[in-house]
Homo-oligomer: A and B are copies of this chain.
Amino acid sequence: TSSGVFLLQMGWGDLGAFGEPSKETPNLDQMAAEGMLFLDFYTANPLCSPSRAALLTGRLPVRNGFYTTNGHARNAYTPQEIVGGIPDSELLLPELLKKAGYTNKIIGKWHLGHRPQFHPLRHGFDEWFGSPNCHFGPYDGTERPNIPVYRDWDMAGRYYEDFKIDLKTGEANLTQLYLQEALDFISKQQASQQPFFLYWAIDATHAPVYASKQFLGTSQRGLYGDAVREIDDSVGKILKHLQQLGISENTFVFFTSDNGAALISAPKQGGSNGPFLCGKETTFEGGMREPAIAWWPGHIPAGGVSHQLGSVMDLFSTSLSLAGLQPPSDRQIDGIDLLPVILQGKLIDRPIFYYRGNELMAVRAGLYKAHYWTWSNSWEEHSKGIDFCPGQSVAGVTTHTQEEHTHLPLLFHLGRDPGEKYPL
């Protein structure tokens, strides 16, 4: 069974199925209606790089090395200049799937290191079309080059130079390029009857937000909504392609996000975390609870809903399981195999750990969440207008100083109080 993982940066509240008020994601909503909605699904860190490392290794960032000790509770930010990356000692999902004859492709943002030794084709992927980092820029090319776009080993060009992004109009056809890559790869694999792992981890809706011309101005939500609509359309086309090629029943597909919506970029460039508190960079629900949908026609009963506590790291173990492989036994794996949940409706008891950098900020067990540390961002940042929780303020919770509660954790019941407003 092949696996496809859609990994975006969209908030819980960005999908119609999860309550976005303008309901402009008909394809994702349809995917949910045909598949299973995970309501309690989490990323492993509220920032892109550590989350993506966790997904591909099945391990928490504190184990796979994607954390930093540059500051307490500081998430591992990976600008172009960073010299580190995914260690060779880590076993990535595509490396393992190769043993079962899979062809592995990454489309989009790698984020696990810029230098040659970290290249995705050195870590199990057979093909790559995308960039090592976000499409920040444009840069003037002297102090900092623009982010390159790779086709496999070779640089195909650079953002803004060869892959245009018009920051004034918000127009860029990148999502269309990434869609076409996915369709072509799937066709090729179907023709060769080889199982595959497709990791569609594209840049949109990360700021600076863009959409193709045909989607500009089509949503009620502005440019961000246009980008969401283009992703939604792409997901729909990819799923339809699987069906038309007759391989949808042999392809397990999962949609989720690497962190909550970046409220610092809202409302023009940032999304919505629905009823949850705060966003990206924080360990409140808005930073780490993600929209999540499993789709596998003929196997997953349509319209299912699961309360299983899930994690992006589970996609590692689940994809291995689908390939008939065992996870490595020489190291701690934090992901679990979700197939019993998805196929038999089981609920597996497991906690969720909320890390910020290498600090364990909070733990969820069942419906209870204990915060050992609370912090939104510093007064210094906040005074500059950087706000991780715009419009939200819960006394003693969304603190601008790092508050330790390890002796008496701040406890919330996420069923009665999903917004983390009423400490018990």
Which residues of B have CB within 8 Å of A225? 415-416
| Given A220-B307, A267-B417, residue A21 in contact with residue B39 (CB < 8 A) | yes
| Given A221-B416, A391-B277, A393-B393, residue A13 in contact with residue B19 (CB < 8 A) | yes
Which residues of B have CB within 8 Å of A23? 37, 39, 305
| Given A33-B33, A307-B22, A393-B391, residue A275 in contact with residue B221 (CB < 8 A) | no
A–B complex contacts, Cβ < 8 Å, 20 sampled: A16-B305, A19-B274, A19-B275, A21-B274, A21-B276, A22-B307, A22-B418, A219-B415, A220-B307, A220-B416, A221-B415, A222-B416, A225-B416, A266-B417, A267-B417, A267-B421, A272-B275, A272-B419, A391-B394, A392-B393
State in angstroms the CA–CA spacing of A20 and B19 once bound together: 7
State in angstroms the CA–CA spacing of A23 and B12 once bound together: 14
Distance in angstroms from A211 CB to nearest chain B CB is 14
State in angstroms the CA–CA spacing of A225 and B415 once bound together: 9
Which residues of B have CB within 8 Å of A394? 391
Whether a CB of chain B sits under 8 angstroms from the CB of A422 is yes
Whether a CB of chain B sits under 8 angstroms from the CB of A159 is no
Residues A387-424 near B (CB distance < 8 A):
390-394, 413-419, 421-422
Which residues of B have CB within 8 Å of A22? 39, 307, 415, 418
Query: Which residues of A are at the interface with B, using a C-beta cutoff of 8 A?
Result: 12-13, 16, 18-23, 33, 37, 39, 219-222, 224-225, 266-268, 272, 274-277, 305, 307, 367, 390-394, 413-419, 421-422
The residue in A305, A307, A391 that gathers the most chain B C-beta atoms within 10 A of its C-beta is: A391
The residue in A219, A222, A414, A416 that gathers the most chain B C-beta atoms within 10 A of its C-beta is: A416
State in angstroms the CA–CA spacing of A33 and B19 once bound together: 14
State in angstroms the CA–CA spacing of A232 and B277 once bound together: 27
Chain B residue nearest in CB terms to A424 = B267
State in angstroms the CA–CA spacing of A272 and B422 once bound together: 13
State in angstroms the CA–CA spacing of A413 and B224 once bound together: 14
Which residues of B have CB within 8 Å of A307? 22, 220
State in angstroms the CA–CA spacing of A422 and B263 once bound together: 12
State in angstroms the CA–CA spacing of A418 and B413 once bound together: 26
Closest 8 CB pairs of A and B: A19-B19, A220-B415, A391-B421, A222-B416, A267-B417, A393-B393, A267-B416, A21-B418
Which residues of B have CB within 8 Å of A414? 21
Distance in angstroms from A295 CB to nearest chain B CB is 17
Which residues of B have CB within 8 Å of A267? 413, 416-417, 421-422
State in angstroms the CA–CA spacing of A416 and B219 once bound together: 9
Contact between chains at A275 and B13 (CB < 8 Å):
yes
Other A-B pairs beyond A219-B415, A391-B419, A392-B392, 11, CB < 8 Å? A12-B21, A20-B275, A21-B418, A22-B39, A22-B307, A23-B39, A33-B33, A222-B416, A225-B416, A272-B419, A390-B422
Distance in angstroms from A416 CB to nearest chain B CB is 4
Chain B residue nearest in CB terms to A21 = B418
Which residues of B have CB within 8 Å of A13? 19, 274-275
Which residues of B have CB within 8 Å of A12? 21
State in angstroms the CA–CA spacing of A275 and B417 once bound together: 14
Chain B residue nearest in CB terms to A417 = B267
A421: contacting residue among B305, B390, B413, B416, CB under 8 A: B390
Chain B residue nearest in CB terms to A33 = B33
Chain B residue nearest in CB terms to A398 = B391
Distance in angstroms from A310 CB to nearest chain B CB is 14
The residue in A37, A224, A419, A422 that gathers the most chain B C-beta atoms within 10 A of its C-beta is: A419
Chain B residue nearest in CB terms to A40 = B21
Contact between chains at A275 and B274 (CB < 8 Å):
yes
Chain B residue nearest in CB terms to A30 = B303
